[in-house]
Amino acid sequence: QQKVQQSPESLSVPEGGMASLNCTSSDRNFQYFWWYRQHSGEGPKALMSIFSDGDKKEGRFTAHLNKASLHVSLHIRDSQPSDSALYFCAASEHRHNRIFFGDGTQLVVKP
Amino acid sequence: NSKVIQTPRYLVKGQGQKAKMRCIPEKGHPVVFWYQQNKNNEFKFLINFQNQEVLQQIDMTEKRFSAECPSNSPCSLEIQSSEAGDSALYLCASIQGPAEQFFGPGTRLTVL
């Protein structure tokens, strides 16, 4: 069973709009969560980490974690065409352990 | 920006051939990971090292995969006898302390 589930599989938003991505884990041992972004032809790059319940904001990006429900979300406000990419939710039990990735959300921001 | 270096960027092999790829982690990062990302963008963890020692690894079926991170040399991942199903993007990542994993651009392996 996939340990990290993401939704939606794909998302299209207009430039300047809000994009919301969701992620649910099935493993209560996960303590550390990340959002990664991958552009075509590149390796994934970490966007944000979130380790505590609540919201974490960095510029246009806000992550939310609810450990009780094992739910993580990412909200991108004022979306730009350059935000178009594959987004992955990732989780691990310990900070130096392997990361479990979700299947990804393909975000398209239309000018 | 990540400075994890992976070579080659593209690798084409015939079935049964050896395929070897290399990774230079970010300077000062003692922990190195290898992942396989298939055409459906699914990630599969392969192995990780702390300095030269293996921390975790999957049960690499048929033992066709081998990896090492020797001191003062690039880390490497080798597939002894490539199969069509091995075609994927192989990603190396490194980490220092309690931070996110920094990924290289990957080696795209195509097995004909």
Half-sphere exposure of residue A86: CA atoms within 13 angstroms, side-chain side: 18
Yes or no, beta carbons of A41 and B95 under 8 Å apart: no
**Which residues share a beta bridge with B53?**
B50
Cis ω before A111 (30° cut-off from 0): no
pLDDT in tens, B65-96: 999 999 889 999 999 999 999 999 999 999 87
Task: Report how many Cβ contacts below 8 Å link chain A to chain B.
Answer: 49
Candidates B43, B45, B55, B102: best to mutate against A (most CBs of A within 10 A) is B43
Q: Is pLDDT at B61 greater than 60 in this prediction?
A: no
Residue A89, beta-bridge partner list: A35
Interval B5-30 mean pLDDT = 95
Highest mean pLDDT among A27-31, B15-19, B62-66: B15-19
Contact B48, B62 (CB under 8 A): no
Q: Which residues of A touch B48 (CB under 8 A)?
A: 98
